[in-house]
Structure 1
Amino acid sequence: MADVRHRVTRAALRAGLAPEHAEQFTIAVNEVVINAIQHGGGAADVTLAPAPGTVTVTVRDSGGGIPANVTPRLPTPHTLGGRGLWLVQQLCRDVTVHTSDAGTVVTLSVTAGPDVTPERLD
């Protein structure tokens, strides 16, 4: 995991993100990878695709998919866990999730610029 985090942070900084935005993106990727490992079959395939001014990370797992009743919302303060997808959506504006019985594919993208700071707090 440490190697994945370092590579994502380096790619985000090279793409021109401010250090705090690179850190937020790295945290979001970290959450997705941890979810894939914990809930998606014990392993994750992570693809990092940097380009000038943008970084895209795709995380694939081979688990049973995300149940239909799981939505990215903030659980109550007394609930253990369940904050991963919610946190990802707070830290990264461009997130797509495709899930099926064959597993889940989560794609996160970030673009350098003045408007990359997430504003949403649902």
Structure 2
Amino acid sequence: MPTNDAMYHTYRSDLSEVRALVLERAREAGLAEGRASDLVLAVSEVAANTLRHTKSSGTLAIWHNEREIVCEIRDEGTITDPLAGQVRPAPDATGGHGLWLVYQVCDFVELNSDSSGTTIRMHMALPSPNGGH
């Protein structure tokens, strides 16, 4: 669940601010630059799906604790395939590559979709303070 210091941002068209906010919060949380870039890419893919497949705005929430950073995208779209993103799309598939990428770069992905909309939470583990992972 989002923590009290969760940051929220609503978007309808410009994803540059979404990307900038994720990068800023990922760095603050202590993600290494490469992992932070992966998280930005994942969130950007999911946010782009809001623009591509819904007429509504989307909401980004970001929070972290000492173990992980979580980015959540919520919109009014519906994903009917319960395995969306979990099976590699065929090379000639016209869609599905974005969610596949999200599952590849994030440590854990939660996808919930019903008639009220879709929520996708992307989790990334933070490096432990003592240098372990």
Q: Same fold (TM over 0.5)?
A: yes
TM-score by length of 2: 0.75
Matching residue of 1:89: 103
TM-score by length of 1: 0.82
Contact 1:47–1:58, Cα closer than 8 Å, also in 2: yes
CA distance in 2 between partners of 1:12 and 1:49 (Å): 9
Matching residue of 1:66: 79
Percent identity over the alignment is: 29
List gaps (5 residues or longer) in structure 1.
116-122
CA distance in 2 between partners of 1:16 and 1:69 (Å): 32
Q: What SS class does the counterpart of residue 4 from structure 1 fall into?
A: helix
Q: Over aligned residues, Cα RMSD in angstroms?
A: 1.9
Tell me how many residue pairs correspond in the alignment.
Answer: 114
Mean CA deviation greater in 14-23 or 36-45: 36-45
Offset from partner CA, 1:23-50 (integer Å, 9 cap, x none): 0011011111111222233421111224
Contact 1:96–1:108, Cα closer than 8 Å, also in 2: yes
List gaps (5 residues or longer) in structure 2.
1-14
- Please, which of 17, 31, 36 is the counterpart of residue 22 of structure 1? 36
How far is 1:87 from its partner? 0.7
Q: What SS class does the counterpart of residue 123 from structure 2 fall into?
A: strand
Paired AA for residue 11 in structure 1: R
Offset from partner CA, 1:47-106 (integer Å, 9 cap, x none): 12244553221111112x111365322222222222111110001012101110111011
